[in-house]
Structure 1
Amino acid sequence: MDTRILNRKPIGHLGPSAVSSSGSEFKDIIGGGESMRDVLDNVKVVGASDISVLILGESGTGKELIAQCIHRISPRNKKPFVAVNCAALPANLIESELFGHEKGAFTGATDKRTGKFEQGNEGTVFLDEIGELPVELQVKLLRVLQEKEVEPIGGRKRKVNVRIIAATSRNLEEEVSMHRFRLDLFYRLNVFPIKLPPLRERKEDIVALANHFVTIYARKENKAITGVADHVIQLMLNYHWPGNIRELENLMARSVLLTNGPIINSLKLPGQSQVVSTVRQGRIKSMIENERDHILSALERCNWKIYGQDGAADLLELNPSTLNSKMKKLGIEKKYSKNGSN
């Protein structure tokens, strides 16, 4: 059986044209395809400056890693890198988390809290999923960008010196048109945009990424896995990867756990009821089968929600009626999402 043998040495993730002589700035970036070389060329350009950066890309494409790279090659690299996921914070805690509060400023404020901007003073503050920040707090963020000051809840304004790198998986221009994001803040953040390609557009990096994650999880599980079968790699190259690199990592972690021999010889992709082995099937999937699997994967990812924001139609960039037509044609029966809607 032909296999792709895993490289047990540190994976060479960039070509010489894309890294400095040491390459240490990009040590966490895997893949040397053209699209990522373009991204890292932009990182090198903006890293030496102090302007705001807006990193755009789908969920799971590695936006925080790129932010870390920018910080690492910036003049602020000896100072803190503070990351905040705006989507993960409850709405009633975001202001306190970002700007801090004084003791007794509100019920439950038994101690003084230093906000993320003060924690990151003289360094970099990375605001992930900035599109989730409530409109009323966008004004305070604008003050940080314009006036270089923060105002803790119940406290006085304080000067801070931070570089802001923001990231989002949303279309902020569309959010502005819907009055969910301030236009002036968008202009302040969008000084130097960097767009990360989805994994389906950088297939030349899938093998290196898969090898990297298999090596990591094989070591964690204390397994002597030495390779990935070619037919498994072909399945990965044909897959759409709606969850991008994060989905690939999770899939490799699961595959390592399920593999008992030295080779990963099978793969379970979302939307498939059983582990698939192209060698056993003796054929390559048809385009119709691939389309069906792709739609099933999106439906599973969206909990079978079809309509509205974060629905499968939105994820697939299809009109809902077009998606329903394709589902009918491909024999995909509707299921109801857990919340009872579809």
Structure 2
Amino acid sequence: MSKVRAWGQELALSQIGVAGVDLRSAEPGLLAWLEAGFHGEMAYMASHGLKRARPAELVPGTVSVITARMDYLPEATPPDWVAHERQRLLQPGEAVVSVYARGRDYHKVFRSRLQKLAERIAVEIGPFGHRAFTDSAPVLEAELATRSGQGWRGKHTLVLSREAGSMFFLGEIYVDLALPPSEPVSAHCGACEACLVACPTQAIVAPYRLDARRCISYLTIEHAGPIPLELRPLLGNRIYGCDDCQLACPWNKFAQRSPLPDFAEREGLGTAQLVELFAWTEAEFLRRTEGSAIRRIGHERWLRNLAVALGNARRQGAGAQVEQALVQRLEHPSELVREHVRWALDVTPRRKP
């Protein structure tokens, strides 16, 4: 495995591990989470059932799983990045996009490098069965990562590393090779509950237990319908994802920068204003988000999220420019957008005669 780790480093994969495929001990927790309805509208989480915990059912012939970590903080990230991100959350007119989504879509970047790693292994040992995944199939990524020594499960449910915090992506290569598993690492959260306290919507309902239905990342990305009224004020100026639990985590002082230009901020997404982004037409949205993870939510949800953030900014006295931007979208063709704009403006919908 030393050669595989060296090849991984050449491909900007920060860490390589190996896990076995017997994940039966994780099945009760997965079932309990689904039965509680914590997956919300993510029907795919339930439709795949226990296949997530059974790699050999997902990819027949799988004997081992090679896991990989890829750090994503942009190379130009300053040392005081956490303070900077927190300060942006206090500026109601600024549009806050989760750090991971400000660059190129990680699915494309990471998966291609995992595939190259598999091809490099094949050159060394000959053809073998394999399939690479990056948040793209029913895979228990965090479970495989912790079992293979990538880190431990934090109380916010993300994987934490002593060397890299949690600002990284996880990927896997399912292989039909019997590889020696990596040693897991011990947990180091201790009595700390900073992530639970920091969550704006209290989506972390208990240590290691997340109700996705309250999570801002879920609401702004996965959720297709109206954002629940009681949660809208809590979104603040977050328009795509949320990093609050990670910003609060003391381990992220060790978060690593990525050498890849793919993760550099694009389109000014680290400094953009809500009004500016709300003005994008659908054509402009598609052009500016080409190759970005943001494109997957579509222009309608993009405007929905921005309308909520603009409404919050308006209620904090953000000024006439915010109100004017919202008024211009009052007659938008989408009822989803119109409803959120009316909420933002405190406008009662017109009754049909």
TM beyond 0.5: no
Q: Greater RCO between the two (CA within 8 Å, min separation 6)?
A: 2
TM-score scaled by structure 1? Answer: 0.30
Larger Rg belongs to = 1
TM-score scaled by structure 2? Answer: 0.29
